[in-house]
């Protein structure tokens, strides 16, 4: 049962937990790390590791999407980012990485004021497809109606609709909102949609026919939604709630399984592993992959929240550069700070709890253990 706390006489709030508040508990059975499987699948597309590169310009370029694909992960290109606004965004990526902190947001807004070009969407997706990896692109709900036909015609394999909060019941007085259920029904490709942060919102998104649901708001390291609009969803509780919605939806739909992808606030390998233990099938990583030597952000990290023209809800931050992409995913690690060897950490946790695959690992025991501040 959920626990409510009285905030004041007129308001109660539900107690919720972040990933830092929980820990995985070893079980009576253990295994060798090499004997576990880290594979996952969404629709007909299979991946060796449960890692999705976030659609953020500091993380995923066509080149890094290809690199992720070749390493067994999935890179998602932001189809509203610099790669679809400029023929060659490289000088602008370099400029953003070197901007002083006090002027970065204003200049980012100016750079992203350049219109999105349909022909560049097609060119970038073709580039990824020609490399022979799974092609995934993301649009916000506001841009989906404008550009989805371009995306589908370009040959995308997985279509991602990603926003701070995405609902199946958006209401507007001045325009016809996206009918998500009809849109997914008419589309010929699997759709991943989110974010959703509670049981009810996730259940409604599952009922639209989505192949996957993003859990959370994304942009953990670069998000200021709590500071600007007062919105935040502690991820441990959000993932567990949405996992329960999936169980109920499976009963309701006669067994249809919707993939859960945890999105945001997983800057180290421990948080990544705990997200999977709590019910996620895969994790969308931003900051960890922005630390790669190949990352287009050059050690800086920002998301779509930073470029909003009237109310930016994020900022550019310095995450540094720690290692090549392959080492971040597969190691070896040379520090104990959780910035490299994410898959090695997952294998070790699965082995320590005795589970052989991600779906069974979701049943592992956890405890509430508030973060002590010790690393």
- Domain assignment of residue 7, yes or no: no
| Two tokens, residue 17 | 């937990």
Q: Does a structural domain hold residue 189?
A: yes
pTM: 0.94
Asked whether residue 359 is domain-assigned, the answer is: no
List Cα–Cα distances, 179 to 144, 186, 203, 268, in angstroms.
11, 11, 16, 36
Whole-angstrom distance, CA of residue 201 vs CA of residue 168: 8
Can you give the pLDDT at residue 173? Answer: 44
Q: Which residue has the higher pLDDT, 225 or 298?
A: 298
Q: The CATH number of the domain where 296 resides is what?
A: 3.20.20.70
Q: Is residue 19 situated within a structural domain? A: no
Q: Which residue has the higher pLDDT, 245 or 165?
A: 245
* Residue range of the domain that includes 285: 32-346
Selection from 257, 264, 271 nearest residue 218 by Cα? 264
Mean pLDDT throughout 215-228? 77
Instruction: Specify the pLDDT at position 169.
Output: 47
Q: Is residue 339 part of a domain?
A: yes
CA gap 272, 24 in Å, rounded: 12
The predicted pLDDT at position 177 comes to 62
Q: Identify the pLDDT of residue 166.
A: 55
Average pLDDT over residues 200-218: 91
Give the C-alpha distances (Å, rounded to integers) separating 145 from 140, 150, 171, 272: 10, 10, 16, 33
Q: How confident is the model at residue 131 (pLDDT cuts 50, 70, 90)?
A: very high
Task: Look at residue 362 and tell me if it is in a domain.
Answer: no
Residues pairing with 12 in the sheet = 6
Residue 363 forms part of a structural domain: no
In a domain, 68, yes or no: yes
- Does a cis peptide bond (omega within 30 degrees of 0) precede residue 195? yes
Of the listed ranges 97-101, 216-220, 283-287, 340-344, the least confidently predicted one is 216-220
Q: Does residue 217 carry a pLDDT above 80?
A: no
- Render pLDDT for 160-203 as a digit per residue (tens, 0 to 9): 999 755 545 443 444 456 688 888 888 889 999 988 999 999 99
Pairing of strands 300-301, 282-285: unpaired
Residue-wise pLDDT tens digits, 58-83: 999 999 999 999 999 999 999 999 99
Number of domains into which the chain is organized: 1
């Amino acid at each position: 049962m959920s626990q409510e706390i009285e905030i004041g006489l007129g308001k109660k709030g539900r107690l919720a937990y972040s990933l830092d508040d929980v820990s995985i508990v070893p079980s009576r059975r253990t295994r060798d790390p090499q004997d576990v499987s880290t594979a996952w699948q969404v629709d007909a597309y299979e991946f060796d590791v449960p890692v999705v590169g976030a659609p953020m310009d500091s993380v995923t370029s066509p080149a890094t999407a290809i690199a992720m694909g070749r390493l067994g992960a999935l890179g998602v290109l932001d189809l509203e980012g610099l790669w679809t606004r400029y023929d060659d965004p490289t000088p602008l990526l370099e400029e953003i990485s070197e901007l002083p902190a006090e002027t970065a947001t204003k200049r980012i807004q100016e750079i992203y004021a350049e219109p999105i070009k349909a022909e560049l969407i097609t060119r970038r997706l073709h580039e990824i497809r020609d490399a022979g990896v799974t092609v995934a692109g993301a649009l916000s709900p506001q841009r989906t109606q404008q550009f989805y036909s371009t995306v589908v015609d370009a040959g995308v394999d997985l279509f991602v609709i990603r926003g701070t909060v995405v609902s199946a019941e958006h209401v507007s007085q001045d325009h016809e909102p996206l009918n998500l259920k009809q849109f997914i029904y008419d589309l010929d490709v699997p759709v991943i949609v989110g974010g959703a942060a509670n049981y009810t919102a996730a259940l409604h998104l599952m009922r639209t026919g989505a192949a996957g649901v993003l859990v959370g708001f994304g942009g953990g390291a670069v998000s200021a939604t709590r500071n600007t609009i007062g919105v935040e969803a502690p991820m441990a509780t959000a993932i567990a709630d949405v996992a329960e919605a999936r169980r109920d939806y499976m009963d309701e739909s006669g067994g249809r399984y919707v993939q859960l992808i945890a999105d945001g606030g997983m800057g180290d390998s421990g948080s990544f592993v705990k997200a999977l233990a709590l019910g996620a099938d895969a994790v969308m990583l931003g900051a960890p992959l922005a630390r790669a030597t190949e990352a287009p952000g050059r050690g800086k990290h920002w998301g779509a929240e930073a470029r909003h023209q009237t109310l930016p809800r994020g900022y550019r931050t310095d995450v540094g550069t720690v290692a090549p992409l392959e080492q971040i995913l597969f190691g070896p690690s040379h520090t104990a700070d959780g910035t490299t060897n994410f898959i090695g950490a997952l294998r070790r946790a699965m082995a320590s709890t005795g589970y052989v695959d991600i779906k069974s690992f979701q049943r592992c025991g956890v405890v509430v253990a508030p973060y002590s501040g010790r690393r």
